[in-house]
Amino acid sequence: MELLSSHRSFGGWQQRYGFKSTSLNSETTLSVYLPPQADRGSVPLLYWLSGLTCTDENFVTKAGAQRAAAELGLAIAAPDTSPRGAAVADDAGWDLGQGAGFYVDATQDPWRSHYQMATYVRDELPALLAAHFPAIDCDRAGISGHSMGGHGALTLALNNPDRYRSASAFAPIAAPSQCPWGEKALTAYLGSDRSAWLTYDACECLKTSAWDRPILVDQGEADEFLAGQLLPQQLEQAAQAAGKALTLRYQPDYNHSYFFIASFIDDHLRFHAEQLGS
């Protein structure tokens, strides 16, 4: 791993690394926040998954999460949203291809040679962090994200309850098999057989998941994508039917932006810290 930048922040370190990912078969970047407690012992970890068009830098520069993370002793790992590079397949649209990996393992050409985002987040990142950051306790890990990243956080947690101890999301794409963003991406990455999509639809995952811990979701009521793309009511109904503990908070006047995330990120970090024993 090559250290690309390092900044002192609230007594900890906000760092960015570049490396070759074996899962993605490409160069990638990763932002990591190490709280000051990491100098004295092990700290739990929160994975943050960003949304469409974002990189690993959006969250760490816009969300203002470092202050609460330093107070709580919580490390944060923010990967990029997709593989990138001249050899990586892309699309002219902003909602497919580079910047829009959807946190799935693609099975279709030309995507499958690089777009293995689920494996990257679930398997490669924990091994990488454990090898390079001995203070991070990857066995005490939570996961969160925004929009496409909220979709990724929820599906990864529900599909891997042994890997994550806490889960939350901001304005997640809750039912991607039922919205235009999801239908476009899942068709491209996984093919037209909709049964192959179910693993990556949080509403479907809730039906069979062994997840038995609370989930926190915040949704802005002024979100321009609320009705057509995000469908949080579907998530709420699925959680109720499955007997899962979902807290869905609608926030009046908030939209889909990072102003929304920055307003409630402390709540989410405290939620994760409580679940992780920070």
Three-class HEC string of 37-59: HHHCCCEEEEEEECCCCCCCHHH
Q: What pLDDT band is residue 278 in, cutting at 50, 70 and 90?
A: confident
Question: For strand 246-251 and strand 43-49, is the pairing parallel, antiparallel, or unpaired?
Answer: unpaired
pLDDT digits (tens, 9 = 90+) for 148-165: 999 999 999 999 999 999
Among all residues, which ones are annotated catalytic? 147, 223, 256
Instruction: Tell me if 158 sits within 8 A of 202, measured CB to CB.
Output: yes
Mean of pLDDT over the chain: 97
pLDDT digits (tens, 9 = 90+) for 120-142: 999 999 999 999 999 999 999 99
| pLDDT at res. 83 | 97
DSSP readout, the chain?
Answer: -EEEEEEEETTEEEEEEEEEETTTTEEEEEEEEE-GGGGTS-EEEEEEE--TT--THHHHHHS--HHHHHHHT-EEEEE-SS--STTS---SSTTSBTTB-TT-B--STTTTTT-BHHHIIIIIHHHHHHHH-TTEEEEEEEEEEBTHHHHHHHHHHHH-TTT-SEEEEES----GGGSHHHHHHHHHHH-S-GGGGGGG-HHHHHHH----S-EEEEEETT-TTIIIII-HHHHHHHHHHHT--EEEEEETT--SSHHHHHHHHHHHHHHHHHHHT-
**How many structural domains compose the chain?**
1
Mean pLDDT of 100-104: 98
Q: What percent of the chain has pLDDT over 70?
A: 100
| pLDDT at res. 262 | 98
Nearest to 25 by CA among 89, 96, 103, 97: 89
Mean pLDDT of 69-89: 97
Which CATH number characterizes residue 193's domain? 3.40.50.1820
| pLDDT at res. 217 | 98
Domain that holds residue 162: 2-276
| pLDDT at res. 174 | 97
Report CA-CA distances (Å) from 26 to 80, 106, 122, 173.
12, 15, 17, 26
How far apart (Å, rounded) are the C-alpha atoms in residues 263 and 64? 9
| pLDDT at res. 275 | 96
The pTM of the full predicted model, rounded to 2 decimals, is 0.97
Q: Which two tokens stand for residue 185?
A: 């991406």
| pLDDT at res. 62 | 98
